[in-house]
A and B are shown apart, each in its own frame.
Chain A
Amino acid sequence: MNTRLVSIIRKEFIQISRDPRTLILVLIIPVMQLFLLGYAATNDVRNVPLAVFDQDRGASARALLDAFRAADYFRLAYDVDSEADLRELIDRGLARAGLIIPAAYSQQLTSGESTSVAFILDGSDPTVAATALSAAQLIGQSLATDLMTERLERRGASLRLQLPLEVRTQVWYNPDLEQAYFMVPGVIGMILFALTSILTATAIVRERERGTIEQLIVTPIRSWELVVGKLLPYVVLALLNTIEVLVIGAWWFGVPVRGNIGLILGVSAIFLMSSLGIGLLASTIANTQQEAMLSVWMLLLPSLFLSGFFFPLEAMPLVLQWISYAMPLRYYLVIIRSLMLKGVGLQAIQGDVIALALFGVAIMGAAAARFRKRLD
């Protein structure tokens, strides 16, 4: 057994245990992120506050409002008496949408005429607006179909209205389209990436900042022993975090873990080469822990935004899609989502695994080449 390596690993673990606050943060951060992203970062739009200017107040108007009420996309928050009031509510952001029912609405419908209602949307948040728009259109179409059927029936044509085409949808892997299914594997990727690279960068720079590196340099410890000895404890922490996120994801959010756990951890270890390498690289450039943190942050942001963590890659401009191929996190997210949700084997993801391994070797190699057991 390599005494030098063992002694530096043991020292690192003692130091981690001497700093319980950092340790607790490291264990809490993933949980916090999981809950934040599992709940808050959801694109599901519900309960959009709606202001209604009902000039009709007839039975048909009530039916229309009931239809809006029944779909939980909207909350009938305000009942106003003028267009000016409606505008004011939307201006002030109290209502996100407005519905104006004309005075002759019920009368026109009962007399068999066509009519229209106005639907106003606050487009300042495009996500909310887009969902509200399609929801409003769906509600209108479905009500119109019902009215049409009613009229035909009243005319005695007791034919059952049958639409000529129906699209039967099936959603695989995540039938209820739960946001958490998408987010939990992503959080694992983000934690492995962000936490390990920041921790390793600061752990090495700390030796330089406190001057302890000077004492280490003079010992016959080899560079690789120093690097491996300092990184290994953080690999252990990162894998503990992975298991932590997996357990909470499965138990609290009900995210399935369909793939082989061993395979998940194995691929995660391959991914760790990249994030540890980035941390190590940052430590060779930075002189203070603050510098190290910021350098890692600089790489972290494009990684998160260009890896499909928040936004789907398919929706990005082509140039950004190309750049995303340079982000190791991109491959890992594809892999971990496939492994967890689809339960695929190595075969289905081997291309991404190979890409990840190549990145790992390249980044680690560059970092190792730059790392010197010297002060200058």
Chain B
Amino acid sequence: MNALIDAQNLHKAFGSVQAVRGVSLTVRAGEAYGLVGPDGAGKTTTMRLLVGALRADQGQIQVGGFTLGRETEQARAHIGYLAQRFSLYGDLSVAENLTFFGSIRGLRGPALAGRAATLLKFVGLHGFEARRADQLSGGMKQKLGLACALIHEPKILLLDEPTGGVDPVTRQDFWQLLIRVLAEGTAVIVSTPYMDEAARCTRLGFMYQGRVLVEGAPRELTASMQGRVLELAAHPKDAARAVTAADPAVEDVLTFGDRFHVRVRETAGPLARLPAALAQAGVNVERLRAIPPSLEDVFISLLAAQTTPAQA
């Protein structure tokens, strides 16, 4: 199947800051590509390069078969984009925003009215047509943004942290909408700081300092960490952490709520040694076991490997 977005070796610098350094990615129809990574990793810049809002210093981007830079406007005709910052007109109503973005995309008359009505129902904003966009709640704004991005039935949808600052229920709603968009064969690129959202993507790219460090399906990524994570619940916490970190096979101890995730080189050694060591230090162990790694474990270990390359 043909790629709807194909980006090769993208570079972008702002002054002396290299924001994007050699990013390549390919997304096919019906695929959801998740861009994850810490703030400042270059996710937004990558998104902006892909929609042509920024011009890449180097590299090539094909969108729906059109080359950005040469056939920019044809390429853009296939793109729906929801920017990280709310970028609709706050002083226009919900309906006026939709109509504006529809007509600027060349829709008019009954076709535009029909499409707008369908989308309003789809995102659950029917009944709010006359409300000004800046008087919508955060979640409703994002839904309106999604509707505006979908008004011309784009083949490719780019969403830059679409659920930032949105409540969990609305986040859930939003993803249900995305799943339906994907089912229609749209290619979606979404950047997100949330691991539960990342887990829903077909493929993930983990960005750090302008590069995609690893790429793969969520399950492939977690598989690479299989047998490398222990869960520890123990009191008192400070002593538990100190004793655990001292074990030779332990790479890192991280707090996850009321527990620790302990990243290890192998599980057998620590599982044998730690109970005695902890008991000796007067630590009361509730639970110590190997667990399947989460995406978060994967990314934190990737980050640790980047920041302290000597240990990696």
Known A15-B89, A220-B73; contact A4-B52, beta-carbon cutoff 8 A? no
Partner of A375, one of B54, B86, B96: B54
Partner of B100, one of A7, A18, A211, A213: A7
Chain B residues with CB under 8 Å of A217's CB are 51-53
Contact of B104 with A219 in the complex, beta carbons under 8 Å: yes
Partner of B91, one of A6, A15, A213, A221: A15
Judge if A125 is at the interface, Cβ distance under 8 Å. Answer: no
Judge if A212 is at the interface, Cβ distance under 8 Å. Answer: yes
Contact flags B56-85 to A (C-beta < 8 A → 1, else 0): 000000000000000001101101010101
With A and B bound together, what is the CA distance between A218 and B91 in angstroms?
20
Contact of B51 with A218 in the complex, beta carbons under 8 Å: yes
Chain A min CB distance to B196 (Å)? 27
Contact of A222 with B89 in the complex, beta carbons under 8 Å: no
Residue in chain A with minimal CB distance to B81:
A218
Judge if B105 is at the interface, Cβ distance under 8 Å. Answer: yes
Chain B residues with CB under 8 Å of A210's CB are 87, 89-90
Partner of A215, one of B77, B88, B99, B108: B88
Judge if B48 is at the interface, Cβ distance under 8 Å. Answer: yes
Chain A min CB distance to B291 (Å)? 41
With A and B bound together, what is the CA distance between A216 and B81 in angstroms?
10
Partner of B53, one of A14, A220, A374: A374
Contact of A218 with B54 in the complex, beta carbons under 8 Å: no
Contact of A220 with B85 in the complex, beta carbons under 8 Å: no
Contact of A4 with B104 in the complex, beta carbons under 8 Å: yes
How many chain B residues have a CB neighbour from A under 8 Å?
32
Partner of B101, one of A3, A215, A376: A215
With A and B bound together, what is the CA distance between A123 and B73 in angstroms?
68
CB-contacts of A174-215 with B (<8 A) = 210-215
Chain A residues with CB under 8 Å of B99's CB are 7
Residue in chain B with minimal CB distance to A376:
B54
Contact of B92 with A11 in the complex, beta carbons under 8 Å: yes
Contact of A375 with B53 in the complex, beta carbons under 8 Å: yes
With A and B bound together, what is the CA distance between A211 and B79 in angstroms?
18
Known A19-B91, A214-B87; contact A6-B103, beta-carbon cutoff 8 A? yes
Chain B min CB distance to A225 (Å)? 9
Contact of A220 with B103 in the complex, beta carbons under 8 Å: no
Chain B residues with CB under 8 Å of A11's CB are 89, 92, 96, 100
Contact flags A362-376 to B (C-beta < 8 A → 1, else 0): 000000000000111
Partner of A214, one of B73, B85, B89, B96: B85
Contact flags A353-368 to B (C-beta < 8 A → 1, else 0): 0000000000000000
Contact of B88 with A212 in the complex, beta carbons under 8 Å: yes
Chain B residues with CB under 8 Å of A19's CB are 91
Partner of B104, one of A7, A15, A214: A7
Chain B residues with CB under 8 Å of A374's CB are 52-55
Contact of A218 with B79 in the complex, beta carbons under 8 Å: yes
Contact of A14 with B96 in the complex, beta carbons under 8 Å: yes
Contact flags A208-246 to B (C-beta < 8 A → 1, else 0): 001111111111111000000000000000000000000
Identify which of A4, A218, A220 gathers the most chain B CB atoms within 10 Å of its CB. A218
With A and B bound together, what is the CA distance between A8 and B89 in angstroms?
12
- For the complex with contacts A215-B81, A219-B104, 20 further pairs of A-B residues with Cβ separation under 8 Å are A4-B106, A6-B103, A11-B89, A11-B92, A11-B96, A15-B89, A211-B85, A212-B87, A214-B48, A214-B87, A215-B87, A215-B148, A217-B53, A218-B53, A219-B76, A220-B74, A220-B76, A374-B54, A374-B55, A376-B54
A interface residues with partner B (beta carbon < 8 Å):
3-4, 6-8, 10-11, 14-15, 18-19, 210-222, 374-376
- Some 20 contacts from A to B, beta carbons below 8 A apart, are A3-B106, A3-B108, A7-B103, A7-B104, A211-B83, A212-B89, A214-B81, A214-B85, A215-B87, A216-B104, A217-B51, A218-B51, A218-B52, A218-B79, A219-B101, A220-B73, A220-B76, A374-B52, A374-B53, A374-B54
- Which are the 8 A-B pairs with shortest beta-carbon distances? A7-B103, A211-B87, A211-B85, A220-B73, A215-B87, A218-B81, A18-B91, A214-B83
